[in-house]
Chains A and B, each alone.
Chain A
Amino acid sequence: NAGVTQTPKFQVLKTGQSMTLQCAQDMNHNSMYWYRQDPGMGLRLIYYSASEGTTDKGEVPNGYNVSRLNKREFSLRLESAAPSQTSVYFCASSSSTDTQYFGPGTRLTVL
């Protein structure tokens, strides 16, 4: 039982490049989330998916797209990366309104 897994762990991009961050959970959770964490800003919600087939914007969705591929997987795509998207990205999942379990994070640097 791996919990929440994320790939890659580290990534360096040039401005304008695209990439997809992958997230998977094996806890049969309905809800999945993408956050970014910047110094002094705390965790900010980018997008979330309350159930398979649905996605909703969070606090900072601009510049990102998401896909809930199935119940297990929730990906985050940066179509044209910008230096302002340099951050640590966390995926999380939960079964209801209760505990969210976090993945190990992806450290992204955009040059």
Chain B
Amino acid sequence: QKEVEQNSGPLSVPEGAIASLNCTYSDRGSQSFFWYRQYSGKSPELIMSIYSNGDKEDGRFTAQLNKASQYVSLLIRDSQPSDSATYLCAVTPPNNTDKLIFGTGTRLQVFP
């Protein structure tokens, strides 16, 4: 079992819809969770971090964390074509908080 798992996609949604991206992790003791966005040919950039159970909202983005079920999700409301990118989930392992474990990413396509 991979430590951080994501569906590779592509996830295709129409413009204006809600895009829902999911991530599961294997180590129950993980404490810090991140969503990065990566455009094709570019480097990853952080869009959300979450540390506590529940929801965290930032503009059109909402991160949701459920430690009991070991999943973290990212909702993008009012999706735009400019949101088309690969979204990487990353988790800090409990035994070494100096590093991140990344999932393989979910490719999102928002069509007009």
- Rounded to whole angstroms, the CA-CA distance of A50 and B92 in the bound complex is 14
**Total contacting residues, chain A, CB less than 8 A:** 23
* B residues in contact with A103, CB < 8 Å: 43
Q: Are A99 and B46 in contact (CB under 8 A)?
A: yes
Chain B contacts with A in 83-112, Cβ cutoff 8 A? 88, 92, 97-105
Q: Are B103 and A102 in contact (CB under 8 A)?
A: no
Contact partner, B98, options A31, A99, A105, Cβ 8 Å: A31
Q: How far is the CB of B106 from chain A (nearest CB, A)?
A: 11
Chain B contacts with A in 1-51, Cβ cutoff 8 A? 8, 32, 34, 42-46, 49
Q: Are A43 and B88 in contact (CB under 8 A)?
A: yes
| Binary flags per residue of A87-111, CB closer than 8 Å to B gives 1, else 0 | 0001000000111111111000000
Q: Indicate the member of B32, B92, B101 with the most A CB atoms within 10 Å.
A: B101
**Total contacting residues, chain B, CB less than 8 A:** 20
A2 at the B interface (CB under 8 A): no
Q: A40 and B32 in contact (CB under 8 A), knowing A58-B99, A90-B44?
A: no
Q: Are B105 and A42 in contact (CB under 8 A)?
A: yes
* B residues in contact with A90, CB < 8 Å: 43-44
Contact partner, B104, options A41, A56, A58, A99, Cβ 8 Å: A41
Q: Are A40 and B43 in contact (CB under 8 A)?
A: no
- Rounded to whole angstroms, the CA-CA distance of A56 and B95 in the bound complex is 14
- Rounded to whole angstroms, the CA-CA distance of A106 and B99 in the bound complex is 21
Contact partner, A45, options B43, B88, B99, Cβ 8 Å: B99
* B residues in contact with A104, CB < 8 Å: 42-43
Q: Are A102 and B44 in contact (CB under 8 A)?
A: yes
Other A-B pairs beyond A97-B32, A105-B43, 8, CB < 8 Å: A43-B88, A43-B102, A48-B98, A50-B98, A97-B98, A98-B49, A99-B46, A103-B43
